[in-house]
Homo-oligomer: A and B are copies of this chain.
Amino acid sequence: MNHWYSLMAEYGMALDEDRLEDWVELFDEQCDYRVVTRENVEQGLPNVLMWCDNKNMLRDRVESYREVNEYNLHYDRHVIGPPKILQQDGVSARIEANYVVLQTDQGGNSKVFSTGAYHALLVLDDGRMRIRDNVVVVDTFCVQTLIATPI
C-alpha cells in the first residue's frame, strides 16, 4: 500500500481541476460515498448531505451536475494531511485524513471554503488502489454549494 499519497493527491486534484469523471474512476465498482456534517456525526443523527452507494450513482451524480453547471466561477484547491492508518493488510487499508479546501474567487482572493476529514477504505483491485468507501465529515456547514459538488 505504498501509493496512498498519490491516490489522495489525485482525489483532491481531480475535484480541483473539474475532472469529475476522473474522480469517479478512483472509486471501486461497489463503493459507498457520503458527505455528513460533523455536528450530525457527533449527535448520532443519520442525516447525509450527499450519498451514493455504488459507482453508477456517482456517475449519474456527476452527469447531472454537468447538465446544470456550465461554468466554474471559482477555483478550488484541496490540501490533505497525512493519513492515520486504522487498519492495514496486503489488500486494503482503512484510513482517516484531515483536509482543507481553499477557494479562489474571480477577483483572485483565496479563502477557506471547507474543512473536514475523509474516513476511507482503500482496496487493491487488479494491482491498482481504489476507494471502496469514503465518508466525508465536513466541519463547515454554512456553504450552499456543499450540497451540489463532491468534496
| A residues adjacent to B (C-beta < 8 A) | 3-6, 8-10, 12-13, 16, 38, 75, 77-85, 96-100, 102, 104, 107-117, 139-143
- Contact sample, A vs B, 20 pairs, CB 8 Å cutoff: A3-B85, A6-B84, A6-B85, A8-B81, A9-B83, A9-B84, A9-B96, A10-B84, A16-B98, A77-B98, A77-B116, A77-B117, A79-B98, A79-B115, A80-B81, A81-B81, A108-B140, A108-B143, A109-B142, A112-B112
| CB-based contact B97/A104 at 8 Å | no
Chain B positions within 8 Å of A110 at CB level: 100, 112-115, 139-140
* Known pairs A81-B80, A83-B5, A100-B102; A108 contacts B141 (CB<8 A): yes
